[in-house]
């Protein structure tokens, strides 16, 4: 029986690490990427190899660099025979006024959050089309739906990811490849650790569910999309406790 392979970008911590643990628990081969946290990523991979007895390779590099992405997916193909599930999770945030943002910051955020999704899909899709099956799951944000003040670049990128998801799903549906996105609300990760206890309580009060989401909840939804739902494609699924 073919052991499926999942590629997870931004896998060293938070949602990415939770995704890696969930798929490892199900016995998937893992291709884990991050840009900077080499020791953290390798420690996670070693733990998953030990506890779940899975095959795992780490690919450290800038997901916004097309040449790196091409090399990473080639390495995955050489090692495991291809990518069955692609999860685009890598992302960076930037909070501040548009008038304080320079073009270098804009390009950096766009490269990491949106161009990376093009690059991974561009390199992984041909093998999926050949095999007549595959799953692409893009980790997005509610800010890509409604926008956030002082997060123009991040919101624009996630809006782009949502539109990219819907368009690519139509293109790939005849090849039995499903493309969906998870638009996350406030998830309890390092990215949202900037809030003071008082700010956190105020934000939790705004969320009908009364709490932040967990990385494990995102991972469980992503795993469900990856493991089945062959007729579900082109959807941006909001996971936000009823917030937006």
The C-alpha angle with vertex 60 and arms to 2 and 131, in degrees rounded to 5, equals: 25
Residue written as token pair 């909001």: 238
Q: What crossing angle do the helices spanning 116-131 and 152-172 adopt, rounded to 10°?
A: 10
139 three-state secondary structure: strand
**What are the catalytic residues?**
154
Phi, psi of 151 (to 5 degrees): -135, 50
Contacts of 99 (CB under 8 A, 6+ apart): none
Q: How many beta carbons lie within 10 A of that of residue 43, not counting itself?
A: 12
Q: Is 200 exposed, middle or buried (0-12, 13-18, 19+ CB in 10 A)?
A: middle
CA distances from 155 to 132, 148, 151, 158, 235 (A): 33, 6, 6, 5, 18
| 161, 181 Cβ separation under 8 angstroms | yes
Starting at the earlier edge strand, list the strands of the sheet with 236-239: 56-60, 29-34, 5-8, 85-88, 134-141, 177-184, 236-239
Q: Is 34 exposed, middle or buried (0-12, 13-18, 19+ CB in 10 A)?
A: buried
């Amino acid at each position: 029986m073919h052991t499926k392979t999942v590629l997870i970008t931004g896998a060293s911590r938070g949602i990415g690490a939770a995704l890696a643990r969930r798929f490892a628990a199900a016995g998937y081969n893992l291709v884990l990427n991050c840009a900077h946290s080499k020791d953290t990523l390798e420690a996670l991979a070693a733990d998953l190899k030990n506890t779940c007895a899975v095959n795992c390779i780490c690919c450290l590099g800038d997901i916004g660099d097309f040449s790196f992405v091409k090399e990473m997916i080639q390495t995955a193909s050489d090692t495991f025979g291809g990518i069955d599930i692609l999860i685009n999770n890598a992302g960076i945030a930037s909070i501040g006024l548009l008038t304080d943002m320079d073009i270098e910051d804009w390009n950096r955020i766009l490269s990491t959050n949106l161009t990376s999704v093009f690059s991974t899909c561009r390199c992984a899709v041909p093998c999926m089309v050949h095999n007549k099956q595959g799953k692409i799951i893009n980790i997005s944000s509610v800010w890509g739906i409604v926008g956030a003040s002082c997060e123009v670049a991040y919101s624009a990128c996630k809006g782009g990811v949502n539109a990219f998801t819907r368009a690519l799903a139509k293109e790939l549906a005849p090849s039995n490849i499903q493309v969906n996105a998870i638009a996350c609300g406030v998830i309890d990760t390092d990215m949202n650790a900037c809030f003071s206890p008082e700010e956190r309580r105020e934000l939790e009060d705004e969320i009908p569910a009364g709490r932040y989401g967990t990385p494990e909840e995102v991972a469980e939804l992503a795993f469900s999309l990856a493991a089945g739902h062959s007729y579900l494609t082109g959807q941006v699924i909001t996971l936000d406790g009823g917030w937006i």
